[in-house]
Amino acid sequence: MLLAMDSGMTTGKIQGVETKDPAFGTPALWIEPSMRDRAEMYGYTVVDPTAVIATHLTETIRRHADEILTRDATQHLIDELKKTSPAVVDDLIPNVMRLAEVQQILQMLLREQVPIRQLGVILETLGDYAGRTKDPILLTEFVRARLARTISTRYRDAENRLYVVTLDPTLEDRVRAGFEHNERGLFIRMAPQMIEKICRAIAAQVEKLTAANRPPVVLVSPQIRAALREMTAAHLPNLVVLSYNEVTRDTRIESVGMVVDNER
């Protein structure tokens, strides 16, 4: 059997057993090998079971990369960076930030699938802002804004279009009133029933994206991005929450729907 994945651009139907791609959750079919040529002609991506398993394992590791990034692994990454950019490292560690604090920022980035390959840029950004605040949430948001091109490129298409769902201003205000962020951290004050209701409303709009095989992106103001991600993580673990600060100027935002506040 082969797995035929619907690219969202297929031009015909084929017979097979309906399933979902185990790595990404997109629609797929198990088909007989004899159907491969026809499936590919119709625009399906066809892979064998070995590739399916390998992709699934890779995706699983990627989703849990924050747990794999130990203190020793962080030190190794920094040691490697120091060989080429010693000033960037020496200006930050250990006088401005401790290794454990840097590790926490990197883990928070990885938890939301933000690559940390540009470690030099990340440490430079921390050096720019760590003198003003040691809040890991704020520092992570500053880093994400600096990595806007990396983040935008990850989710937009070949024509630089970023398809998103947005929140209406009243709902953004409700989210803003539903959390507290102070020196001790981020605390969600919104009732669980309201969070669940908002998540259902977001899911209904995001379905327009996933049905077209597009990333499930919700675009919100920078002030509520981290809180909304925290609120939705349990109900919508694959939801991508971006702020306007993370979208580059050359990215064309295409909104496919708006989540409204039905409590008005």
Please tell me the predicted confidence (pLDDT) of residue 229: 96
Angle made by CA atoms 15, 19, 23, in degrees to the nearest 5: 130
Please tell me the predicted confidence (pLDDT) of residue 101: 95
d(CA 187, CA 178): 9
Count of structural domains within the chain: 3
| Strand-pair partners of 154 | none
**pLDDT tens, 178-210?**
999 887 888 999 999 999 999 999 999 999 998
Do 55 and 90 lie in one domain? The reply is no
Supply the CATH number for residue 196's domain. Answer: 3.40.50.12790
Q: Do the beta carbons of residue 1 and residue 32 sit within 8 Å?
A: yes
This model's pTM is above 0.85? no
> Closest Cα partner for 209 from 244, 238, 177?
238
Do 28 and 106 lie in one domain? The reply is no
Residue 180 sits at φ, ψ, to 5 deg, of -125, 130
Please tell me the predicted confidence (pLDDT) of residue 60: 56
Please tell me the predicted confidence (pLDDT) of residue 43: 86
Q: Do the beta carbons of residue 69 and residue 44 sit within 8 Å?
A: no
Q: 99 lies in a domain?
A: yes
Do 25 and 105 lie in one domain? The reply is no
Residues of the chain with pLDDT under 70: 7-9, 22-25, 52-67, 263-264
3-state secondary structure of 257: strand
Residue in the structure block whose two tokens are 């979208």: 247
Supply the CATH number for residue 127's domain. Answer: 1.10.8.540
